[in-house]
């Protein structure tokens, strides 16, 4: 479970560029819940993920995982429990290393060992077994440089690596936005399968309202650093994009003016 209380993040404090990116945000995500997050450009979505991952330390508020206060834990200390997949497939993998070496690197995130000593028969078998699920033939290309893979293949491998080890919390930062629609569907199906199989608590940021409603079991929207709505259960299941827009208009007294959100 994630319990974030009164989280405030201010960039460039005390300067003319001061921006309050998160305004006393409270957010609880139950264990095993799959939360989708939407919001216009600059609404605070990435900052919220950064606070959970530990990349940004809030200037006020606290954050706990399963009742353990991790507010002061740096990213590397949280890395055993939290992993993240980014929009750019290149971010999650190391281009000059082979597929197998990338798996070894991912494993060392949770079980620190030298890269060479981490590559043993057991890892080779484990990596091949996980890759076989993709049905892309990558289990036969363990010694290929990962830079040779397509964006979609690489994102699928990033997802497998992010969910190896002891990860309990998966953060997805628009991880299908750079893929063509067919590949994006493939990666989303893989995501849902892995999340369900491992029972991961998942937070997925997306620019698409339709995708936010299609996947997961709860949707929140950020706007100007605050959560402006939070829908789940039967209410959410009955909603379409037009209903989300109407909810926004009703609560905020203004129209949403972000084409990417409307059209995505």
Ligand X SMILES: Nc1ncnc2c1ncn2[C@@H]1O[C@H](COP(=O)(O)OP(=O)(O)OP(=O)(O)O)[C@@H](O)[C@H]1O
The CA distance from 165 to 86, in Å, is 19
Residue 221 C-beta: closest distance to ligand X, Å: 10
**Burial track 58-77 (b if 16+ CB lie within 10 A, e otherwise):** beebebebeeeebeebeeee
Residue 42 C-beta: closest distance to ligand X, Å: 4
Residue 22 C-beta: closest distance to ligand X, Å: 8
Residue 141 C-beta: closest distance to ligand X, Å: 33
Question: To which residue do tokens 């989300």 refer?
Answer: 244
Interface with ligand X (CB under 6 A): 11-12, 19, 21, 39, 41-47, 222
Q: Select 45 or 168, whichever has its Cβ closest to ligand X.
A: 45
145: left (phi over 0), alpha (psi -120 to 50) or beta: beta
**Burial track 189-205 (b if 16+ CB lie within 10 A, e otherwise):** ebbeebbeeeebbbbbb
Residue 259 C-beta: closest distance to ligand X, Å: 13
The CA distance from 98 to 3, in Å, is 37
24: left (phi over 0), alpha (psi -120 to 50) or beta: left
Q: Select 223 or 236, whichever has its Cβ closest to ligand X.
A: 223
Q: Select 54 or 118, whichever has its Cβ closest to ligand X.
A: 54
Q: Select 40 or 98, whichever has its Cβ closest to ligand X.
A: 40
Q: Select 20 or 123, whichever has its Cβ closest to ligand X.
A: 20
């Amino acid at each position: 479970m994630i319990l974030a209380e009164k989280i405030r993040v201010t960039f460039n404090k005390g300067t003319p560029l001061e921006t309050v990116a998160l305004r006393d945000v409270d957010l609880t995500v139950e264990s095993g819940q799959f939360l989708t997050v939407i919001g216009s450009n600059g609404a605070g979505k990435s900052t919220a993920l950064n606070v959970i991952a530990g990349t940004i330390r809030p200037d006020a508020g606290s954050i706990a995982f399963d009742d353990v206060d991790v507010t002061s834990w740096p990213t590397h200390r949280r890395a055993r429990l939290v992993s993240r997949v980014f929009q750019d497939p290149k971010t999650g993998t190391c281009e000059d290393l082979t597929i197998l070496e990338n798996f070894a690197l991912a494993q060392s995130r949770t079980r620190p060992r030298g890269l060479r000593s981490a590559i043993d028969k057991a890892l080779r078998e484990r990596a091949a077994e996980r890759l076989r699920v993709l049905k892309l033939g990558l289990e036969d290309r363990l010694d290929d440089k990962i830079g040779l893979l397509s964006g979609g293949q690489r994102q699928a491998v990033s997802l497998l690596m992010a969910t190896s080890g002891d990860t309990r919390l998966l953060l997805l930062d628009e991880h299908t936005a750079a893929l063509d629609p067919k590949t994006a569907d493939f990666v989303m199906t893989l995501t849902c399968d892995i999340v369900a199989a491992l029972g991961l608590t998942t937070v997925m940021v997306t620019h698409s309202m339709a995708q936010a409603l299609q996947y997961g079991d709860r949707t929140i929207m950020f706007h100007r650093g605050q959560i402006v709505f939070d829908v789940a259960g039967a209410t959410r299941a009955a909603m379409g994009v037009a209903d989300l827009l109407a909810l926004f208009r009703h609560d905020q007294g203004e129209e949403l003016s972000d084409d990417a959100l409307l059209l995505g």
